[in-house]
Amino acid sequence: MDILQKEKKLQKLEEELRRLDDEKSIEEIKKTIEAYKVKSMSNLSSWDRVLLARHPKRPTAKDYIHHVFDDFIELHGDRGFADDQAIIGGIAMLNNIPVTVIGQRKGKTTDENIAYNFGMPHPEGYRKAKRLMRQAEKFNRPIITLIDTPGAYPGLGAEARGQGEAIAKNLYEMSDLGVPIIAIIIGEGGSGGALAIGMGNRVYMLENSIYSILSPEGYASILWKDATKAKAASEVMKLTSYDLEELEVIDGIIKEPIGGAHYDSKLVYESMRTVIERSLRSYHPMSHYEIKTERYAKYRNIGFFQRFNYENLKGVEK
């Protein structure tokens, strides 16, 4: 039984609770609900975390922007082609500090997801992000990025307008920025589409987010020629927050309530705000050169390939 099936069972218990009017019965059901959550929804598999990262009720980048930051002003367009709605970015305040915030945006309804291209940016989205990051450096504003994408959009138009070049140019530009970059994976962090706004001095993941070279379905399609083996692929891809913290790819994990961030989004907003504020304080005494040097050293020292245990692939159904 995966986490979504367990969630449905929990919802039935909560519906039963709402129908009761006897105080004793209500207390008993409440205890049953809490016990069930602790027992069945705490020890999650990698596939469970994939499902939670994609959960339709999960807070989006727009939610975090409006609950973690103050006085957000959205800025539009790449000044070259168009305004990509899959990328939301602008200026905001965090504890009276001006910051630039850039996020990959998914929707909560079908219409919103179509408008935001299901969180898959086009080249102009990445160029908009690059424009905002350059502006942030000009005015000495820290940059906060919120990553939530299955990957960059692979359509014909996007490729014709230079999708690969746009991603590569972002990586090039971010590597040389003299202001601190705090990157947070809030849902899916897929491939170069995620990395294009993810080269941070500090990189954090929400507990039930994922970060990988491609989707489990894509991995299974390449390795076993069968996308239906995505669940098995997720168990060997090292894509969860705990896997990546152990591999020292990320700097920390932002905890979520049992069942996922959508169960108590306010708690997650507060935790994220605390992590960002703490991180930014550490950069106050640092020069632009020191900030760039730290970022360079971070990516030189990531020992992902040296530490990856290829024994994990043994015994997996082929």
Domain range annotation of the chain: 3-43, 47-313
Which has the closest alpha carbon to 16: 29, 28, 5? 29
CA 142 to chain centre: 19
| Whether 221 contacts 273, CB under 8 Å | no
Cα–Cα distance for residue pair 183/143, rounded to 1 Å: 8
Cα–Cα distance for residue pair 253/275, rounded to 1 Å: 10
Cα–Cα distance for residue pair 303/298, rounded to 1 Å: 10
| Whether 87 contacts 105, CB under 8 Å | yes
Query: What does the chain come to in residues?
Result: 318
Q: Number of helices and strands (H, E) in the chain?
A: 15, 8
Domain range 47-313, CATH architecture: Alpha-Beta Complex (3.90)
pLDDT grade for 155, boundaries at 50, 70 and 90? very high
Cα–Cα distance for residue pair 174/178, rounded to 1 Å: 9
Residue 24: CB atoms within 10 A of its CB come to 8
Contacts of 172 (CB under 8 A, 6+ apart): none
Region at 317 (left for phi over 0; alpha for psi -120 to 50; beta for the rest): beta
Reduced to 3 states, what is the DSSP secondary structure of residue 98? strand
pLDDT digits (tens, 9 = 90+) for 169-226: 999 999 999 999 999 999 999 989 999 999 999 999 999 999 999 999 999 999 999 9
Which has the closest alpha carbon to 132: 145, 120, 122? 145
Reduced to 3 states, what is the DSSP secondary structure of residue 139? coil
Strand residues in the chain grouped as ranges (E) = 70-74, 87-94, 97-104, 143-149, 181-190, 202-206, 210-212, 252-254
Region at 260 (left for phi over 0; alpha for psi -120 to 50; beta for the rest): left
Residue 305 has pLDDT above 80, yes or no: no
pLDDT digits (tens, 9 = 90+) for 97-143: 999 999 999 999 999 999 999 999 999 999 999 999 999 999 999 99
pLDDT digits (tens, 9 = 90+) for 18-40: 776 666 666 777 777 777 777 77
Residue 309 has pLDDT above 50, yes or no: no
